């Protein structure tokens, strides 16, 4: 009768395969080369004996989990799909698994769910950890790469993000000069998020360049989420004395979906009455009605390059400080262009 896997030891596998215990260990841990003939014989013996390696013991012995962690504050919108695709491609190619977790940074009730105890390194998205959390992990020389944020001052943590300020100014400039829009609503993203900060700065710079005063009454909270943006704009429009506006920069494409829904509900025509623009060039943006003018951000590339930087750290190679990827204006009909 075939032995049950939990009663089979590595020594029994070695004896039946005619090799040393050390050879079996090298094969299981993939930490030294063995011949194809020996590898094939070991596979056959382990299958016959129904031997399953004890992964926890192997991890303790090697001090490696072969797991990459991705820590985010939430997974609420479509932005994360290409980011995850880019990360997962690199992780899989390197024979690792990806562990994704959400965490509300700054919460003292619970520690981060992933870190040195269950991963070999972390990809930290935006505000996924506080500066103090990052400093503590950095002091342990724990491998990390930041995604869509730069590291706190004096912390040597690589980061990968996109250019936000210049391209947003270019987008607002287009609304002002091509479509003569002067009263442009801005939807802010999440607080403490760098993308939101730089996009607002680009917005302000474009207004200033054309002598248009910044008006706080034209700033709404969108949080880069369709539902939040829709509710914010609906509440704004329900006030009969709301400030006049002729264009909207939604902050990102997910928020633009909510913006367009609220405008339809209140019988505004896009782009005849109001120009609308987003950011990210999400997969659905070209299929909205009307097609959305937006900014193409290389989200998949951000994930892929961030993962590559993390594996460079695993190999004890130096990784670049801040990698800033270029963005591009995508003109469609929602701003008023006949495209």
CA angle 312, 84, 221 (to 5 degrees): 115
pLDDT tens, per residue, the chain with 339 residues: 444 444 688 888 889 999 988 888 777 765 567 787 887 788 788 778 877 666 545 454 556 889 999 999 888 788 999 999 999 999 999 999 999 999 887 665 677 889 998 999 999 999 889 888 899 899 889 999 999 999 998 899 999 999 999 999 999 999 999 999 999 999 999 988 999 999 999 999 999 999 999 999 999 999 999 999 999 999 999 999 999 999 999 999 999 999 999 999 999 999 999 999 999 999 999 999 999 999 999 999 999 999 999 999 999 887 778 999 999 999 999 999 997
Domains 5-62 and 67-161+299-325 share a fold: no
Instruction: Provide the CATH topology of domain 67-161+299-325.
Output: Rossmann fold (3.40.50)
DSSP β-ladder status, 184-188 and 121-125? unpaired
pLDDT at 53: 65
Is residue 147 within 8 A of residue 122, CB to CB? The reply is no
pLDDT at 191: 85
pLDDT at 337: 97
Q: Which of 124, 205, 126, 194 is nearest to 164 (CA)?
A: 194
Is residue 65 within 8 A of residue 91, CB to CB? The reply is no
Using CA atoms, how far apart are residues 98 and 94, in angstroms rounded to an integer? 11
DSSP β-ladder status, 184-188 and 247-249? parallel
Show the tokens assigned to 50. 């129904």
Domain residue spans in the chain? 5-62, 67-161+299-325, 165-298+329-335
**Strands of the chain, DSSP E:** 67-72, 97-102, 121-125, 144-147, 159-162, 184-188, 219-221, 247-249, 275-277, 294-296, 322-325, 328-330
* Sequential DSSP letters for 226-268: HHHHHHHHHHHHHSTTPPP-SEEE-SSHHHHHHHHHHHHHTT-
Show the tokens assigned to 215. 């008006």
3-state helix, strand, coil in the chain (%, to 5): 45, 15, 40
SS3 assignment, position 100? strand
Is the CATH number of domain 165-298+329-335 3.90.1150.10? no
SS3 assignment, position 149? coil
CA angle 171, 292, 196 (to 5 degrees): 50
pLDDT at 55: 53
Show the tokens assigned to 90. 């690199």
Sign, Cα dihedral of 301, 303, 307, 309: positive
Using CA atoms, how far apart are residues 307 and 312, in angstroms rounded to an integer? 9
- Residue labelled with tokens 């262009």: 337
Using CA atoms, how far apart are residues 74 and 101, in angstroms rounded to an integer? 9
Using CA atoms, how far apart are residues 47 and 280, in angstroms rounded to an integer? 49
Instruction: Give me the architecture of the 5-62 domain, per CATH.
Output: Orthogonal Bundle (1.10)
C-alpha 305: how far from chain center: 11
Using CA atoms, how far apart are residues 284 and 198, in angstroms rounded to an integer? 24
């Amino acid at each position: 009768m075939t032995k049950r896997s939990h009663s089979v030891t590595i020594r029994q596998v070695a004896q039946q395969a005619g090799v040393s215990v050390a050879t079996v260990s090298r094969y299981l841990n993939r930490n030294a080369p063995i011949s194809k003939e020996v590898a094939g014989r070991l596979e056959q013996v382990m299958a016959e004996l129904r031997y399953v390696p004890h992964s926890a013991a192997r991890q303790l012995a090697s001090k490696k989990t072969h797991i990459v962690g991705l820590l985010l504050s939430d997974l609420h919108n479509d932005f994360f799909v290409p980011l995850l695709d880019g990360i997962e491609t690199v992780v899989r190619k390197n024979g690792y698994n990806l562990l994704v977790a959400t965490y509300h940074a700054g919460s003292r009730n619970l520690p981060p769910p992933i870190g040195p105890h269950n991963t070999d390194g972390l990809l930290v998205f935006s505000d996924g950890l506080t500066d103090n959390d990052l400093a503590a992990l950095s002091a342990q020389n724990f491998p990390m790469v930041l995604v869509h944020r730069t590291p706190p001052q004096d912390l040597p943590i690589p980061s990968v993000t996109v250019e936000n300020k210049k391209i947003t100014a270019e987008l607002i400039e287009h609304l002002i000069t091509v479509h003569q829009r002067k009263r442009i609503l801005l939807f802010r993203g999440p607080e403490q998020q760098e993308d939101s900060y730089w996009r607002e700065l680009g917005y302000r710079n474009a207004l200033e360049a054309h002598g248009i005063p910044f008006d706080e009454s034209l700033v709404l909270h969108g949080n880069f989420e369709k539902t939040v943006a829709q509710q914010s704009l609906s509440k704004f429009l329900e006030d009969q004395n709301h400030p006049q506006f002729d264009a909207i920069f939604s902050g990102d494409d997910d928020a633009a979906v909510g913006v367009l829904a609220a405008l339809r509900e209140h019988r505004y025509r896009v782009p005849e009455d109001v120009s609308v623009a987003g950011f990210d060039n999400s997969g659905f943006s070209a299929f909205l009605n009307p097609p959305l003018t937006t900014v193409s951000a290389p989200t998949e590339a951000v994930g892929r390059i961030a993962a590559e930087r993390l594996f460079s750290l695993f190999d004890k190679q130096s990784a670049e400080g801040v990698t800033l990827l270029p963005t591009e204006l995508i003109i469609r009909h929602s701003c008023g262009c006949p495209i």
